[in-house]
Amino acid sequence: MPIARILFTMPLPEPFDYTVPEGMDLVAGSCVAAPVGPYDRLGMVVDVLADQPGTNRKLKAVTAVYDVPPMSAAMREFLTWASRYTVTRPGTILAMALRAREALVPSPVELRYQLAGPPEGRLTPARAKVLEQAAALGRVSSSELAAAAGVSSGVIKGLVGMGALEEVEEVVDLPFAAPNPDLPGAVLTGEQASAAEELREGVRKGGFAAYLLDGVTGSGKTEVYFEAIAELLRSDPEAQILVLLPEIALTQAILARFDARFGAAPAPWHSGLNPKERRRTMREVLHGRARIVIGARSALFLPFRKLKLIIVDEEHDGSYKQEDGVTYHARDLAVMRAKLEEGAVVLASATPALETVVNAEAGRYIRLRLAARPGTARLPQIELIDLRRAPPEKGKWLSPLLALSLAETLAAGEQSLLFLNRRGYAPLVICKACGEKLKSPGTENWLTEHRYSGRLVCHLTGYSIAKPATCPKCGAADSLMGVGPGVERVAEEVRVLLPNARIEIFSSDTAQGGEATRGIVERMAASEIDVLIGTQIVAKGHNFPNLTLVGVVDADSGLKGGDLRAGERTYQLLSQVAGRAGRAERPGRAYVQTYTPDNPAMQALAANDRDGYLAIEREVRSELGLPPFGRLAAIVLSAPTADLADKAALEIAAAAPNSEGIELFGPAPAPITVLRGRHRRRFLVKSPRSVDLSAYMAAWVGRLKLPSQVRLAVDIDPYSFL
């Protein structure tokens, strides 16, 4: 019998061998079920081998093969590469590609009912009511029809027996509508048309190519890459397209734009989908019927049959970095997946990451520039407000100039946006009597006060309690005080300043789920909101034509800490926020409140000198050998006690391989030293770009034999240093 080598969707280091029963047709990439211990597990065939005579191996047999197309060679190679690059067991990576096991079987069916003909026999009033509803509703389920008519399901069955209704089996998971690339697109400007034609030419040519679509906010990047999508749909009837977005919140808005351009919404993929929606998307992707998929970073692991174009929208966004479980950066993996699929990848941003800019300047990416907004729209004028010279009034957070501008904007019938990247009412709650700072149990994280819900919340662990009436430490009554501003506190100040204004808060607390997010965005776009106050969710690609004023309440918060990209991230975020203003006929302006107006990021923002700022960043990082001119990796370990964490850290340090060019820093307590009751220690590894850092980390981890209470995570190219 032939032997199938099967990799399971489990954290196992390698595939296992099974016999292939007679008559079962398996090839590399087939999805199968096979026994692991007492249970059948989902796996993928890595290879099919002829049995070696004389080995007398007692192997179990493959239980079943799923009737789906096998994973392509490019997909299998991508999974192998991702496993090696992220230093993750291959079975764990495979589990990310086969998250919806139900998608491997045909869609379930359900019985539905429709009118069949004149009834044979007397009609009761209840039966007559059912037939009346069936005529109005068409083909519906028994429960829907019974509820509409106000009867029991037995009445439905009786009408079937009389021949008045008929049962019809209907597939539950319907295919997605096919996109039409020949519908008219937007009228493009000269530079938009030039960029679009270069993308179209690249798609027609085929093969791997990487593009940086570098356009200022509001320059029409989406319309440009729509043209590349249309060209691929026309030229290759089997090609599939993936559009990655940094936030679920953006998905609903851009789905409508796809629907308008191509006459059909793409297949969605993100964590907000229910199991039914997830299995539907994955099944259609597997069979090649979903031509366009739009989703968050995990969509990159979907088993496409023929993926030929990947769009990474807002490629600079930190949300593309997966921090939990398998750590990876979707932008970097998207480039590799496009290369293995021999397709094109488009990285689109108004503020591209330094890594992307360096790759473009080195000729590895083709750079397409969009330097202007179309029509009469212009980039907003940005002014820094030095809070050392023009501070807010005591107990307030808005400077006099920003407060006055809000009033003027409201009087002119225009909209304002205030940005503060802190949820809740106050980021710290302190006891006025004893000075106690309220923290999440088992951590050093402060609790954030949420005034609208009356609760104190840890945004890192999710811990939440009702705000106590007395201090938990000293027992003093009414002594707990919120310190610092969150978006709720700013909203409170604006309501006093503009009592007649329509004010809403836009954060993950107020926009939980796609419907809530879409509602806020639609109300803002329809000018039903006068002042929108939000966290970084407001910076993500929204288009509000009547928005003319943007105010950044605290521009300095992102500059704190030891993050090597702090300045770059601050510039990107504030530039994106400011870019929401003046996207139509009316000119826009942005005020940035800061205590550090001389910071290079702030100066570049005011001067609209992105390239000048990146030149400074490039010089500093090049001198220090930091990304993109060097490489970093991290090991974070955690243990239930500080002593065990320290002991394990010393063992890990002693096992580090010697290698030329490698610099090892640590172990040291992580900035968040205690998290969920576990004590954390951190190593940082720096190397030249010529070193295979993933292989070095894999060799290091492979030497370790740690106690079961110690957990270890490897992060290649870390973006978080907490």
Judged against a pLDDT cut of 70, whether residue 513 lies above it is answered with no
Kindly give the pairing relationship between strand 3-8 and strand 39-49. Answer: antiparallel
Q: Show which of 97, 123, 143 is a domain's final residue.
A: 97
Judged against a pLDDT cut of 60, whether residue 54 lies above it is answered with no
Please indicate, yes or no, whether residues 612 and 653 belong to a single structural domain of this protein.
Answer: no
Please indicate, yes or no, whether residues 198 and 251 belong to a single structural domain of this protein.
Answer: yes
Give the amino acid at 148.
Answer: A
Confidence tier at 384 by pLDDT (50, 70, 90): very high
Q: Locate 141 and state its tokens.
A: 């389920």
Please indicate, yes or no, whether residues 341 and 248 belong to a single structural domain of this protein.
Answer: yes
Contacts of residues 361-364 at CB distance under 8 Å and 24 or more positions apart, as own/partner, are 364/210
Beta-carbon count within 10 A of 556 CB: 18
Q: Rounded to an integer, what distance in angstroms lies between the CA atom of residue 427 and that of residue 487?
A: 10
3-class secondary-structure state, position 547: strand
- Enclosing domain of residue 353: 190-370
Please indicate, yes or no, whether residues 701 and 669 belong to a single structural domain of this protein.
Answer: yes
Q: Please name the residue that has the structure tokens 């954030």.
A: 448
Query: In this predicted model, what pLDDT tens digit does every residue of 565-581 receive, in sequence order?
Result: 888 888 888 888 887 77
Q: Please name the residue that has the structure tokens 């992102």.
A: 558
Q: In 147-269, at which residue ranges do the beta strands (DSSP E only) sit?
A: 165-171, 209-215, 240-244, 267-269
Judged against a pLDDT cut of 60, whether residue 404 lies above it is answered with yes
Q: Rounded to an integer, what distance in angstroms lies between the CA atom of residue 196 and that of residue 201?
A: 9
Query: In this predicted model, what pLDDT tens digit does every residue of 671-707 receive, in sequence order?
Result: 888 888 899 999 999 999 999 999 999 999 999 999 9
Please indicate, yes or no, whether residues 242 and 293 belong to a single structural domain of this protein.
Answer: yes
Confidence tier at 462 by pLDDT (50, 70, 90): confident
Please indicate, yes or no, whether residues 603 and 528 belong to a single structural domain of this protein.
Answer: yes
- As a whole number of Å, the end-to-end CA separation of the chain is 53
Query: In this predicted model, what pLDDT tens digit does every residue of 60-90 receive, in sequence order?
Result: 999 999 999 999 999 999 999 999 999 999 9
Residue 427: the pLDDT is 83
Please indicate, yes or no, whether residues 672 and 565 belong to a single structural domain of this protein.
Answer: no
Residue 437: the pLDDT is 87
Helix 153-161 and helix 125-137, axial crossing angle in degrees, nearest 10: 90
Is the separation of the CB atoms in 561 and 598 below 8 Å? no
Q: Locate 545 and state its tokens.
A: 């034509």
The answer to whether position 477 is within a domain reads no
The answer to whether position 625 is within a domain reads no
Omega of the bond leading into 69 within 30 degrees of 0 (cis) = no
Q: Show which of 561, 588, 618 is a domain's final residue.
A: 618
Percent of the chain with pLDDT over 90: 56
Please indicate, yes or no, whether residues 353 and 395 belong to a single structural domain of this protein.
Answer: no
| DSSP string covering 182-193 | TS--PPP-HHHH
The answer to whether position 653 is within a domain reads yes
Please indicate, yes or no, whether residues 202 and 329 belong to a single structural domain of this protein.
Answer: yes
- Paired with 109 in beta bridges are 171
Q: Locate 179 and state its tokens.
A: 């996109």
Is the separation of the CB atoms in 115 and 181 below 8 Å? no
Please indicate, yes or no, whether residues 282 and 333 belong to a single structural domain of this protein.
Answer: yes
Query: In this predicted model, what pLDDT tens digit does every residue of 98-154 receive, in sequence order?
Result: 999 999 999 988 889 988 888 777 788 888 898 988 888 888 888 889 989 888 888
Q: Rounded to an integer, what distance in angstroms lies between the CA atom of residue 328 and that of residue 337?
A: 13
The answer to whether position 446 is within a domain reads no
Please indicate, yes or no, whether residues 704 and 592 belong to a single structural domain of this protein.
Answer: no
The answer to whether position 479 is within a domain reads no
How many residues does the structure list for the chain? 722
The answer to whether position 181 is within a domain reads no
Supply the CATH number for residue 86's domain.
Answer: 3.40.1440.60
Q: How far lies 700's CA from each of 34, 664, 685, 695, in Å?
A: 33, 12, 11, 9
Q: Show which of 370, 398, 432 is a domain's final residue.
A: 370
Q: How far lies 581's CA from each of 9, 542, 550, 578, 587, in Å?
A: 47, 10, 6, 6, 8
Task: Find all residues with CB under 8 Å of 606, minimum gap 6, and list them.
Answer: 382, 383, 384, 592
The answer to whether position 185 is within a domain reads no
Is the separation of the CB atoms in 636 and 715 below 8 Å? yes
Q: What does the mean pLDDT of the chain come to?
A: 89
The answer to whether position 673 is within a domain reads yes
The domain tally of the chain equals: 5
Q: Rounded to an integer, what distance in angstroms lies between the CA atom of residue 277 and that of residue 65?
A: 24
Please indicate, yes or no, whether residues 647 and 709 belong to a single structural domain of this protein.
Answer: yes
Kindly give the pairing relationship between strand 209-215 and strand 344-349. Answer: parallel
Q: Rounded to an integer, what distance in angstroms lies between the CA atom of residue 302 and that of residue 310?
A: 12
Supply the CATH number for residue 688's domain.
Answer: 3.30.70.600
Supply the CATH number for residue 582's domain.
Answer: 3.40.50.300
3-class secondary-structure state, position 508: coil
Q: Rounded to an integer, what distance in angstroms lies between the CA atom of residue 222 and that of residue 207?
A: 22
**Phi, psi (rounded to 5 degrees) for 504:** -135, 155
**Phi, psi (rounded to 5 degrees) for 48:** -120, 125
